[in-house]
Amino acid sequence: MTQSDFDKLSTRKQLIVIDEIGIKIDSFIPWFGNIRISTLYSISNFFVELVMDIETRKFESINTFNNIKFLSKYPQYLYKIDREIKNQIR
């Protein structure tokens, strides 16, 4: 599956794909904004960030990316995540 194919799916189907073929890289709670948890997954040749609001238990967003620079908004986690992503690529 390509990133473009994944992006065209409905949210429900995206969640099914993440559950069935996504490889979990890491989860963390960002230090800014609402209380939420971000979980990163590897799928084929791209990555997915699944963001859930902890208080409402609702999915806030599903973001796809194929460049580690996407994660620069999480500097406190970047080293650990970068290492895990590089392990997934190998």
Distance CA 58, CA 44 (A): 26
How would you label 57-71 residue by residue, b for 16+ Cβ within 10 Å and e otherwise?
eeebebebeeeeeeb
* Cβ atoms of 64 and 14 closer than 8 Å: no
Q: State residue 35's pLDDT score.
A: 85
Q: State residue 67's pLDDT score.
A: 75
Band (pLDDT 50/70/90 cuts) for residue 9 is very high
The tens digit of pLDDT for each residue in 23-76 reads 888 888 876 667 889 898 989 888 899 999 988 989 999 999 887 777 666 666
Dihedral sign, Cα of residue 53, residue 79, residue 67, residue 18 = negative
- The parent domain of residue 25 ranges over 3-89
Domain count, the chain: 1
Band (pLDDT 50/70/90 cuts) for residue 19 is very high
CATH code for position 66: 3.10.450
